[in-house]
């Protein structure tokens, strides 16, 4: 029996001009106990489908055509009062960010009981008993005490468990989970997904799992629907769609997913969506200065430590410090890409910022070539700054929105005096050209570009000073997977053709596998293991490394037919 | 919580000391007190005697300490203009202002919050839009014009209500109240509306924008997705979260009421401390200005303290120590 | 040309053209500002030139010939025979001048302190924001009155009238900087953590350059909103102070002074002496406020 069925669903948003069609002609079904994955890149319309089912479309959005049925009764186009009877009681929803999904001023018990009393025929004390049971079931320890606590007293992972309990407490038939683990660390992500899987089986609830992450799809779902640009391009059993994708888009998407078990030379260049562009890093090599490689390492970190003030006080005894980076040492050889992995709060970005000179080093020293960075004189510091550059995580925040692209790209080179003013335009347009943006991109502003294009502008800015060393701080974690593949290809070119040395920071092990020659694993500010990448993935020595590797979503299901062509 | 409040009290004391310094500096350096206190016919001996009497020959810090000490005992010196102790004048005038401020403050908070919530919930409704448009006129209309308009309508044209003064008052243990006589209550109507209207529009607009902000929050979307009733979402979840920022600004608005009372009292010739203050400014009657400044500072500081304590009642994040579980 | 076309097609300009309220209020503001600036050309009389006054014209009703002289005045005359229309035009000059300069003063002071507090942080921030907090506890109008009172005590008697306008500007400006500082500090704290600021620090850009070149342009849109709303508040504050007799002197009457003068005649039936200045003041404040309200919604679309 089909629990939920959607047929020829079209959702439109009224805009200044023509209405924008976010979803067109979509169809899918969900069975009891089944997890149905909805996957696609940003703008694919997957969240819009979720909101349309709930009758919670934002702004000017409306269902312009189509039929949504729950247990064979129509729920699309019904009035708000009827919808409210369905929402919560028959369909529940889990949002992405557990930190903002709970009302901070009410205890979790109050929020649970309120929802249960609303939907089930229960009195308050009965509801409380059930709430405690449920909290116990979703894995909250000591639920009797914790039910009277406020959301801020729970950690992120625990809060997402509370959110799941809230979604379940009214005993719904369908749960729509919109990116339920995107805001969580890998280790917690695995636990939460496991919980959703168990509960779906146990209670025969249908789940629509909306995500951009192929790994999550492969791990969790029974059926998958792939969306692109508001259209459903392919749907079927997860194993079949991932293992033998039929549609060009699905194939390109799957080929762009980095694998932990296999290193590709370059990601295949697939031109399905027209978002791929040609770049020509090798052309840049002609005017690139040849620098003599030092005999030893290019960058040497010796016992660096960074403490942050956690609680300020005028009394020294009341101050609390937090050690973000604790006595870390490693070396990066010329021409090598060195990876640093770790979960959030492990100190990896802090290390990058200390190397970049954005944070003071509390203890220890950073050596670049012959320069001791934290004790460098002004001249040495200027030399150092010309030779290192950084690529940041979020291309939407790393470019000043009020500056033109040519000014953004030119600023480092001009400020550091690497190039005379009259030659800067030439260099800027060459860089923009080679990175596939076109020289005319210089006269535009950042908001006129997409995320991937912005990241290429950021790369152009970093290359303008012709540096030797590049710090990449999660350079692709804010990007869609096909764009990520493109940026990773560019970075690989930079290493191969320009001989750049890189520090590559990421929380994503498969990405690290693709990019890095050697990897260091960080935990709570300490470096627990350093090894050649292939060795680290095949024979991890440290327990924590082993745990991290075991928590990676499995990508074995994913087809590798297009990877061969690119090797 | 106790440490937090102690911290706040400590800060308040510093604020009062600084305000005291400003008041004292005014007293000491703005104009020559001796010039102000002695008439044209004065002798050098008079000046010398007064200098010693006022302690002007002593070091600055000693004078300041003395000024504070006197102020704490309610001694703010003698009004240049009326020749009477400032404290006596203030005590005589204070009830009028406090009664006016209390009535219009309550009006402003009550109607401000109710209308603010209404316009936020029904933000696309006709009534809400009309109220918002009118409120814009409300914030653009200076208090004194409202007062003049009301006087013209209700006192001059219709003759329903008195146009100035506070009517008959009754003395209860040194406090003269206008609440107990018909003429006193009648006299209160127009000034209270004048004073309360502007504050009401401000509070209403603030409540509305805060509430709209809260209604967009994720936890409200989640509450909607759980199928809670609109009433529960609006009045339980949203309203409580709206109150946190609203408390602060409402506290500030109460302070503003005392200041804006100056204008209302001038328009209605209401015999309160505001009218006293404005006359003091016109005649550079420094002791009165200094005393007024000290007096309302104490009031503002007290309001702020109450606001801080109210925070604890509303926001559990401040009450409980952060204990984050693992996981 | 291209820039103009792009600006015209931008969402901002589109939503402006779509909003009749915004278009009308901008038109009213421009009309009032223009007629104030051009007052010497437009005004039929110079109300401050005693030679052009005729006491016989006193209390002429609007649009009616005066009983003694037969002169007609659009908006009537006051007790001294001054043309109300002309006094309004000249009064608006004073009101707008005080408003604009006071807001400019508050803006420069508040934006600078807010930027510094937000970017530098530490004790500098604590001190600036503590002062702001304390001042915020004291209503602006009261602060302005106090500053006015103190200044009046300090300045010599014969200079008081001359200085009054500047004292007024400083008093209103000083009472209003806090709003700018708080908003700019808040926005700076957000911008400071964005990666483009890190990118600028990475290449060794100094704090001054980062604040002015990088952060300032990105915090200006809320400043624009506050400046507009502050202009309305400053005009009202000026009118209020002048009405209370602690603002513009009778020799340089602003709209508030005119209302103060007119109030005395309201009860004796000469309503036009107060009505027209009051309506002008309301129109000015209301249109500026509506413009500010619209700006806030337009620059922050999620607030609608």
- Please give the share of chain A, as a percent, with pLDDT higher than 90: 43
Residue A183 Cα, gap to closest chain B Cα (Å): 14
pLDDT of residue B326: 31
CB A98 within 8 A of CB A160: yes
pLDDT of residue A487: 92
- Which residues of chain B are within 8 Å of residue A86 when distances are taken between CB atoms? 227
Contacts of C113 (CB under 8 A, 6+ apart): C128, C132, C177, C181
- Of C226, C219, C221, whose CA–CA distance to C197 is shortest? C219
pLDDT of residue A373: 87
CB A492 within 8 A of CB A444: no
> Could you give the angle at which helices A124-137 and A108-119 cross, rounded to 10 degrees?
120
Q: Answer whether A101 sits within 8 Å of B218, measured CB to CB.
A: yes
* pLDDT tens-digit series, residues A356-400: 988 889 999 999 988 888 888 888 888 899 999 999 998 889 999
Residue B68 Cα, gap to closest chain C Cα (Å): 20
HSE, CB side, 13 Å, CA atoms: give it for residue A170: 29
Residue C299 Cα, gap to closest chain A Cα (Å): 15
C200: enclosing H helix or E strand = helix C195-202
Q: A350 touching C, CB under 8 A? A: no
The two structure tokens encoding residue A507: 């929380």
Q: Select the residue from C134, C152, C290 to test the B interface by mutation, using most B Cβ atoms within 10 A.
A: C134
Q: Answer whether C259 sits within 8 Å of B145, measured CB to CB.
A: yes
* pLDDT tens-digit series, residues C241-252: 888 877 777 777
Rounded distance between C-alpha atoms, residue B84 and residue B100, angstroms: 25
pLDDT of residue B327: 30
- Of A274, A260, A277, A284, whose CA–CA distance to A487 is shortest? A277
- Which residues of chain A are within 8 Å of residue B240 when distances are taken between CB atoms? 105-106
Q: C32 touching B, CB under 8 A? A: no
Interface residues of B toward A, Cβ cutoff 8 Å, are 217-230, 232, 236-237, 240-241, 244, 314-317, 320, 322-327
Rounded distance between C-alpha atoms, residue B144 and residue C256, angstroms: 10
Q: A400 touching C, CB under 8 A? A: yes
If one counts every other C-beta atom within 10 angstroms of the C-beta of residue B252, the result is 19
Rounded distance between C-alpha atoms, residue B125 and residue B136, angstroms: 17
Judge whether residue C180 has pLDDT over 80.
yes
**pLDDT digit of tens for each residue in chain B (327 aa)?**
667 778 778 878 888 888 888 877 776 766 666 666 666 666 777 777 777 776 666 777 777 788 788 777 777 777 777 778 888 888 888 888 888 888 998 899 899 989 998 998 888 888 888 888 888 888 888 888 888 888 888 877 787 887 777 777 777 777 777 777 777 788 888 888 888 888 888 888 888 888 888 888 888 888 888 888 888 888 888 888 888 778 877 777 777 888 788 888 888 888 888 888 888 877 777 788 888 888 888 888 888 788 877 877 777 776 644 333 333
More confident residue, C43 or C219: C219
- Which residues of chain A are within 8 Å of residue B244 when distances are taken between CB atoms? 105
Given the structure tokens 């800015």, which residue do they identify? A461
CB C226 within 8 A of CB C184: no
Query: Count of CB contacts below 8 A, A vs B?
Result: 102
Rounded distance between C-alpha atoms, residue C240 and residue C237, angstroms: 5
Beta strands, E only, B223-315: none
In the predicted model, what is the mean pLDDT of residues C24-43?
A: 85
More confident residue, C160 or A355: A355
Q: Go through B58-89 and write b for each residue having 16 or more CB atoms within 10 A of its CB, e for each that does not.
A: eeeeebbeebbeebeeeebbbbbbbeebbbeb
Rounded distance between C-alpha atoms, residue B105 and residue B255, angstroms: 10
- Which residues of chain C are within 8 Å of residue B297 when distances are taken between CB atoms? 138
The two structure tokens encoding residue C86: 């002309």
Q: Go through C249-287 and write b for each residue having 16 or more CB atoms within 10 A of its CB, e for each that does not.
A: beebbbbbbbbbbbbebbeeebbbbbbbbbebbbbbbbb
* pLDDT tens-digit series, residues C142-172: 877 777 777 777 777 667 677 788 888 888 8
Q: Select the residue from B26, B129, B139 to test the C interface by mutation, using most C Cβ atoms within 10 A.
A: B139
C10: closest chain A residue by CA: A16
User: Three-class SS of residue B326?
Assistant: coil
Given the structure tokens 């102690």, which residue do they identify? B6
Torsion, Cα B227 B229 B235 B238, to 10 degrees, reads: 20
* pLDDT tens-digit series, residues C48-91: 776 666 666 666 677 666 666 666 666 777 777 677 788 888 88
Query: Count of CB contacts below 8 A, A vs C?
Result: 58
pLDDT of residue C259: 83
Rounded distance between C-alpha atoms, residue B251 and residue B301, angstroms: 10
CA-based R_g, chain B, Å: 24
* pLDDT tens-digit series, residues A316-348: 666 778 888 999 999 999 999 999 999 888 889
Instruction: Give me the residues paired with residue A206 across strands.
Output: A174
Q: Answer whether B145 sits within 8 Å of C153, measured CB to CB.
A: no
In the predicted model, what is the mean pLDDT of residues A123-151?
A: 90
Q: Answer whether C195 sits within 8 Å of A392, measured CB to CB.
A: yes
pLDDT band at A502 (very low <50, low <70, confident <90, very high): very high
Q: What is the 3-state secondary structure (H, E, C) of B63-76?
A: HHHHHHHHHHCCCC
If one counts every other C-beta atom within 10 angstroms of the C-beta of residue C51, the result is 6
Q: Answer whether C14 sits within 8 Å of A16, measured CB to CB.
A: yes
The shortest CB-CB distance from C198 to any of A358, A385, A412 is to A358
A395: closest chain C residue by CA: C195
Rounded distance between C-alpha atoms, residue A308 and residue A332, angstroms: 26
Interface residues of C toward A, Cβ cutoff 8 Å, are 11, 14, 194-196, 198-205, 214, 217-218
- Which residues of chain A are within 8 Å of residue B230 when distances are taken between CB atoms? 84
- Please give the model's pTM, rounded to 2 decimal places: 0.83
pLDDT of residue A466: 92
- Of A440, A392, A387, whose CA–CA distance to A412 is shortest? A387
Instruction: Give me the residues paired with residue A62 across strands.
Output: A12
pLDDT of residue B323: 36
Judge whether residue C104 has pLDDT over 90.
yes
Residue C123 Cα, gap to closest chain A Cα (Å): 12
Q: Answer whether B301 sits within 8 Å of C137, measured CB to CB.
A: yes
* DSSP state letter for A415: H
Q: Answer whether C303 sits within 8 Å of B284, measured CB to CB.
A: no
Average pLDDT, chain C: 82
Q: B36 touching C, CB under 8 A? A: no
pLDDT of residue A462: 94
Q: Answer whether B145 sits within 8 Å of C266, measured CB to CB.
A: no
CB A32 within 8 A of CB A199: no
The shortest CB-CB distance from B320 to any of A86, A150, A157 is to A150
Angle, CA A30 vertex, CA A24 and CA A32 arms, to 5°: 165
Beta strands, E only, A288-353: 299-311, 320-332, 337-341
Judge whether residue A442 has pLDDT over 80.
yes
């Amino acid at each position: 029996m089909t629990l939920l069925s959607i047929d020829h669903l079209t959702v439109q948003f009224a805009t200044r001009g023509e209405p924008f069609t976010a979803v067109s002609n979509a169809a899918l079904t969900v069975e009891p106990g089944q997890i149905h994955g909805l996957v696609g890149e940003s703008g694919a319309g997957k969240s819009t489908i979720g909101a349309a089912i709930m009758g919670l479309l934002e702004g000017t959005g409306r269902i312009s055509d189509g039929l949504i049925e729950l247990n064979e009764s129509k729920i699309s186009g019904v009035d708000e009062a009827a919808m409210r009877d369905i929402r919560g009681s028959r369909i529940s929803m889990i949002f992405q960010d557990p930190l903002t999904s709970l009302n901070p001023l009410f205890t979790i018990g109050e929020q649970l009981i309120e929802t249960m009393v609303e939907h089930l025929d229960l009195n308050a004390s009965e509801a409380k008993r059930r709430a405690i049971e449920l909290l116990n079931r979703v894995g909250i320890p000591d639920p009797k005490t914790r039910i009277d606590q406020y959301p801020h007293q729970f950690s992120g992972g625990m809060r997402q468990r509370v959110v799941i309990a809230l979604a379940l407490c009214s005993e719904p038939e369908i749960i729509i989970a919109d990116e339920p683990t995107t805001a969580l660390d890998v280790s917690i992500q695995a636990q939460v997904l496991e919980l959703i899987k168990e509960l779906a089986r146990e209670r025969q609830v249908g789940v629509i799992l909306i995500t951009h992450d192929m790994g999550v799809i492969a791990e969790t779902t029974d059926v998958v629907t792939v969306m692109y640009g508001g259209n459903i391009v392919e749907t079927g059993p997860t194993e079949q769609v991932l293992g033998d994708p039929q549609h060009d888009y699905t194939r390109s998407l799957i080929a762009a997913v980095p694998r932990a078990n296999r290193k590709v030379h370059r990601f295949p260049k697939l031109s399905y969506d027209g978002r791929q562009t040609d770049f020509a890093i090798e052309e840049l090599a002609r005017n690139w200065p040849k620098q003599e490689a030092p005999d030893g390492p290019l960058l040497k970190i010796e016992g660096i430590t960074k403490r942050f003030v956690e609680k300020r006080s005028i009394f020294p005894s009341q101050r609390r410090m937090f050690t973000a980076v604790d006595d870390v040492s490693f070396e990066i050889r010329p021409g090598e890409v060195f990876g640093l992995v770790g979960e959030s709060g492990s100190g990896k970005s802090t290390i990058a910022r200390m190397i970049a000179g954005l944070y003071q080093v509390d203890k220890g020293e950073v050596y670049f070539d012959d320069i001791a960075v934290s004790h460098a004189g002004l001249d040495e510091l200027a030399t150092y700054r010309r030779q290192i550059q950084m690529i940041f995580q979020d291309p939407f925040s790393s470019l000043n929105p009020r500056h033109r692209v040519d000014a953004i790209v030119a600023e480092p080179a001009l400020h550091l005096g690497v190039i005379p003013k009259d030659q800067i335009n030439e260099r800027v347009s060459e860089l923009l050209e080679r990175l596939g943006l076109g020289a005319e991109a210089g006269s535009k502003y950042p908001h006129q570009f997409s995320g991937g294009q912005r990241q290429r502008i950021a790369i152009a800015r970093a290359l303008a000073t012709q540096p030797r060393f590049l710090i990449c701080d999660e350079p692709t974690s804010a990007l869609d997977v096909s764009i990520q593949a493109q940026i990773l290809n560019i970075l690989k070119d930079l290493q191969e053709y320009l001989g750049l040395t890189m520090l590559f920071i990421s929380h994503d092990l498969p990405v690290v596998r693709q990019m890095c020659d050697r990897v260091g694993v960080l935990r709570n500010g300490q470096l627990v293991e350093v090894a050649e990448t292939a060795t680290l993935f095949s024979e991890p020595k440290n327990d924590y490394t082993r745990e991290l590797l075991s928590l990676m979503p499995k990508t074995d299901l994913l087809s590798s037919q297009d990877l061969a062509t690119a090797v | 919580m106790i440490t937090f409040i102690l911290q706040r009290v400590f800060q308040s004391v510093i604020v009062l000391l600084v305000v005291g310094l400003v008041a004292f500096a005014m007293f000491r350096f703005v104009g020559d007190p001796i010039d102000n206190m002695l008439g044209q016919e004065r002798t050098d001996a008079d000046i010398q005697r007064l200098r010693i009497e006022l302690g002007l020959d002593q070091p600055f810090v000693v004078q300041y300490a003395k000024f504070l000490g006197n102020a704490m005992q309610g001694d703010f010196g003698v009004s240049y203009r009326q020749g009477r102790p400032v404290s006596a004048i203030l005590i005589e005038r204070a009830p009028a202002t406090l009664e006016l401020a209390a009535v219009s403050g309550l009006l402003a908070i009550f109607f401000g919050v109710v209308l603010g919530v209404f316009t936020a919930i029904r933000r696309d409704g006709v009534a809400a839009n009309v109220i918002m448009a009118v409120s814009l006129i409300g914030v653009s209309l200076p208090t004194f014009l409202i007062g003049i308009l009301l006087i013209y309508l209700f006192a001059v044209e219709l003759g329903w209500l008195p146009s100035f003064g506070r009517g008959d008052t009754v003395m209860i243990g040194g406090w003269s109240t206008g609440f107990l006589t018909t003429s006193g209550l009648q006299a209160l109507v127009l000034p209270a509306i004048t004073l309360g209207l502007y504050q009401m529009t401000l509070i209403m607009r603030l409540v509305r924008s805060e509430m709209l902000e809260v209604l967009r929050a994720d936890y409200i979307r989640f509450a909607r997705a759980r199928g809670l009733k609109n009433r529960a979402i609006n009045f339980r979840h949203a309203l409580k979260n709206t109150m946190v920022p609203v408390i602060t600004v409402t506290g500030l608005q109460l302070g503003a009421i005392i200041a804006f009372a100056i204008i209302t009292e001038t328009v209605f010739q209401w015999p309160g401390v505001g009218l006293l203050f404005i006359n003091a400014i016109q005649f550079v009657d420094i002791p009165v200005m200094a005393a007024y400044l000290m007096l309302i500072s104490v009031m503002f500081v007290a309001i702020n303290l109450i606001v801080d304590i109210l925070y604890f009642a509303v926001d559990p994040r401040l009450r409980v120590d952060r204990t984050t579980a693992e996981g | 040309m291209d820039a103009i076309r792009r600006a015209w097609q931008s969402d901002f300009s589109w939503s402006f053209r779509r909003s009749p309220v915004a278009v009308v209020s901008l038109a009213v503001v421009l009309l009032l500002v223009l007629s104030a600036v051009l007052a010497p050309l437009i005004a039929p009389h110079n109300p401050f030139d005693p030679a052009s006054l005729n006491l016989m014209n006193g209390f002429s009703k609007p649009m009616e010939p005066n009983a003694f002289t037969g002169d007609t005045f659009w908006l009537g005359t006051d007790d001294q025979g001054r043309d109300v229309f002309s006094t309004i035009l000249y009064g608006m000059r004073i009101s707008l001048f005080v408003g604009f300069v006071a807001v400019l003063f508050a803006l420069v002071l508040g934006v600078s302190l807010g930027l510094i507090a937000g970017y530098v942080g530490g004790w500098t921030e604590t001190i600036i924001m503590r002062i702001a907090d304390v001042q915020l506890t004291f209503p602006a109008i009261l602060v302005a009155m106090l500053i006015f009172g103190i200044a009046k005590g300090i300045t010599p008697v014969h200079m008081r009238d001359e200085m009054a306008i500047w004292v007024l500007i400083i008093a209103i400006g000083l009472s209003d900087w806090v709003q700018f500082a708080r908003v700019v500090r808040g926005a700076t704290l957000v911008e400071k953590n964005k990666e483009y600021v890190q990118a600028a620090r990475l290449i060794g850009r100094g704090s001054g350059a980062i604040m002015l070149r990088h952060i300032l342009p990105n915090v200006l849109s809320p400043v624009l909103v506050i400046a507009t709303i502050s202009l309305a508040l400053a005009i009202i504050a000026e009118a209020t102070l002048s009405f209370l007799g602690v603002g513009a002197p009778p020799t340089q009457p602003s709209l508030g002074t005119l209302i103060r003068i007119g109030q005395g005649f309201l009860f004796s039936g000469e309503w036009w002496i107060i009505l027209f200045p009051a309506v002008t003041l309301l129109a000015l404040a209301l249109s500026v406020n509506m413009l500010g309200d619209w700006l806030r919604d337009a620059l922050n679309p999620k607030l609608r």
